[in-house]
Chain A
Amino acid sequence: MKAWLCNRQCFIAVAAVCLVPLLFAAQGSASNSSEDARLVNEFQQRVKQYLELRKKAAGQAPKPTDSPQVIASSQRELGNKVRVARAGAKQGEIFAPEIAQYFRRQLAAVLVGPHGKDIRASLRHAEPVRMDLQINQSYPENVPLQSTPPTLLLKLPELPDGLEYRILDRELVLRDAEANIVVDYIPEVLPDTEK
């Protein structure tokens, strides 16, 4: 009987020692995920604000046409209107430091995950592009748009129509595809070895 009691006490003690850190970890993970949700929500709000500003400044998106001249001029016009509307915009306006950290964590997790090797291979084969980025600049029309591995895209918050993520060398760019404008970017979001 005594031996049984001793065994039971030992079992409870061992279980407690094992479970307490797990409980703390679970609590930490829950608070991490709610913090992540807050950051994603904050990011989406900022994106929404940008799109509202763009719509107010530039109106509706252009329609398909036979005329390359019409396409070229409407794109330039749209870009110029957006540039004027957010003339003072700075890097980090949408990718605020906390949000940028969230994106860095997401991308780092994918790159060390099971598809990391294939993603790195895809990035290498994507004709990497290097250029100096500036907010509100037009993406140069004669520079290829580097393709972005799908597994990376699936890990990032979804974007509304008209906006897209692009990897450029090591930076992550938020691009207004319709106005052809660099809306914001996170510098050196990919580790140096991923070049």
Chain B
Amino acid sequence: MIAPRKSFSLLLASLIVCSVSLHAQTNRKLDIKLPLRNNSVRFAVIGDSGTGDQEQYEVAKEMEAYREAVGFDFVIMLGDNIYGGHEPRDLAQKFEMPYKPLLDAGVKFYASLGNHDDPNVERLYKPFNMNGERYHTFKRGDVQFLALDSNYMDAKQLTWVEQNLRSSGARWKICYFHHPLYNDGKSHGPDLDLRNQLTPLLKLYGVNAVFSGHEHAYERIKPEDGIYYFIQGSSGKLVKDDFHRSEIMEKSFDRDRTFMLIEIDGDKLFFQTVSRTGQTVDAGQVGRQTQPARAVAAGR
């Protein structure tokens, strides 16, 4: 039998330990690699996120911690946003609940479609900001974003991509879609047919960076035709030991879930890839490429 006084002391001690632990969690120093310049464009990147599992929630929690410090106000989603069913409870469990702190803070999500997504549900779901379309575009600062549907790249979409890239006068052009054009993953690998159809347009109209998912790990590719390629497919799903290293690989991480932070300021793009546990697994900066004559002329 524990005396009431001793019991009270134990309870108090437990409360103090919990409180210190919570305080340490919320006030731990984040490893921020972005320069956080005035008026820069800042966003987060997640891919293959919609599992509804504990790990997705942990990534989301880490994103919120970084949002408070970095101040990004939108997230691009690289597909497989909702795995399995697409009933209202699925959207709640696999999107609304994990990202609630971000949504409550006014962060906007701009989705692209993966092979596990139901286009009919997700394109109509307002919080995904797809405006009822399978593919869409939006501009933030001097950055034009094109969210493509790589599941179904038909003639209509290719024409749309060309028209939007040609007519954009933005300083930066970023495309994102689910299936990677370059990738060293063992699970899927690159989509060669998509690459054949899409890269001529990306090159011709001066796309600067491409973000994809599908492969459940993180990889940064050495620039191909001057374009920066990132694969971020582990914000919910993960395949460990997924890579066979090749000469196109710049950096990879397949030990834990991740998300990316991006900051664009002038001619520089800064990136930081953060794991579920807050570890920075890749970071750096790249310069804006010299634009092809055709892209410069078209953008005028």
- Mark A residues whose CB is within 8 Å of B: 62-69, 71-72, 75, 115, 118-119, 121-122, 125-127, 141-142, 144-154, 158-159, 164, 177-178, 180
As a 0/1 sequence over residues 144 to 160 of chain B, the CB contacts with chain A under 8 angstroms (1 = contact) are 00000011111110100
Whether the Cβ atoms of A148 and B121 lie closer than 8 Å is no
Contacts A69-B88, A154-B155, A158-B154 supplied; 17 other A-B pairs, CB < 8 Å: A63-B124, A66-B125, A68-B91, A118-B192, A121-B189, A121-B192, A125-B191, A142-B84, A144-B115, A144-B116, A145-B115, A145-B117, A147-B150, A149-B193, A150-B158, A151-B196, A180-B118
Whether the Cβ atoms of A149 and B121 lie closer than 8 Å is no
Whether the Cβ atoms of B193 and A121 lie closer than 8 Å is yes
Whether the Cβ atoms of A68 and B92 lie closer than 8 Å is yes
Whether the Cβ atoms of A126 and B125 lie closer than 8 Å is no
Complex CA–CA separation, A69 to B86 (angstroms):
10
- Mark B residues whose CB is within 8 Å of A: 84-88, 91-92, 115-121, 123-127, 130-132, 150-156, 158, 178-179, 188-198
Whether the Cβ atoms of A122 and B191 lie closer than 8 Å is yes
The answer, among B92, B152, B178, for a CB contact under 8 Å with A153, is: B152
Complex CA–CA separation, A178 to B125 (angstroms):
14
**A148, closest chain B residue (CB):** B152
Q: Known interface pairs A115-B193, A151-B196. Does A71 touch B154 (Cβ–Cβ under 8 Å)?
A: no
Whether the Cβ atoms of A71 and B121 lie closer than 8 Å is yes
Complex CA–CA separation, A160 to B51 (angstroms):
33
Whether the Cβ atoms of B124 and A151 lie closer than 8 Å is no
Q: Which residues of the other chain, A, contact B125 by a CB distance below 8 angstroms? A: 64-66, 68, 71
Whether the Cβ atoms of B193 and A151 lie closer than 8 Å is yes
Whether the Cβ atoms of B87 and A122 lie closer than 8 Å is no
Whether the Cβ atoms of B87 and A68 lie closer than 8 Å is yes
* A115, chain B: closest CB distance, angstroms: 6
Complex CA–CA separation, A122 to B119 (angstroms):
20
Q: Which residues of the other chain, A, contact B196 by a CB distance below 8 angstroms? A: 115, 118, 150-151
Whether the Cβ atoms of B124 and A62 lie closer than 8 Å is yes
Could you show 20 A-B contacts with beta carbons less than 8 Å apart?
A: A63-B124, A64-B124, A64-B126, A64-B131, A66-B127, A68-B91, A72-B86, A118-B196, A121-B189, A121-B192, A145-B117, A146-B115, A147-B152, A150-B154, A152-B193, A153-B152, A153-B154, A153-B155, A154-B155, A177-B120
